[in-house]
Amino acid sequence: MHYPFFEHSWGQRVVRFYDLDKHIIEVGENIIMVVKRFINAGLSIEETATRMDVPVVYVIAEAVIPKGMPTGVG
């Protein structure tokens, strides 16, 4: 069975379906991948932050700075 994806206002793509007890299950794209998708699509760091309604430092920390490297933020 195919379920269409839904995109939240902040850009995260999800799919929703019901389990056998009629509870809604939502499976979503990792938010770090949303940041990277916007950056790869050509949005600037500032545009990505605005699109996602998050601080610029969040976008920098998730998309620009390699994991394990100190950010000086936090």
Number of domains in the chain: 1
pLDDT tens track, the chain, 74 positions:
566 889 999 999 999 999 999 999 999 999 999 999 999 999 999 999 999 999 999 999 887 665 555 545 44
Indicate the pTM of the whole model.
0.74
How far is 50 from 24, CA to CA, in rounded Å?
A: 29
- For residue 4, the model assigns a pLDDT of 83
Cα-flanking dihedrals φ and ψ of residue 32, to 5°? -65, -35
- The H-or-E segment that residue 50 falls in is helix 45-52
- For residue 74, the model assigns a pLDDT of 47
- For residue 46, the model assigns a pLDDT of 95
Residue 69 lies in a domain: no
Question: Is residue 30 classed as helix, strand or coil in its secondary structure?
Answer: coil
CA atoms within 13 A on the CB side of 63: 26
Domain of 39, CATH number, reads 3.10.180.10
Q: Which domain range does residue 39 map to?
A: 5-64
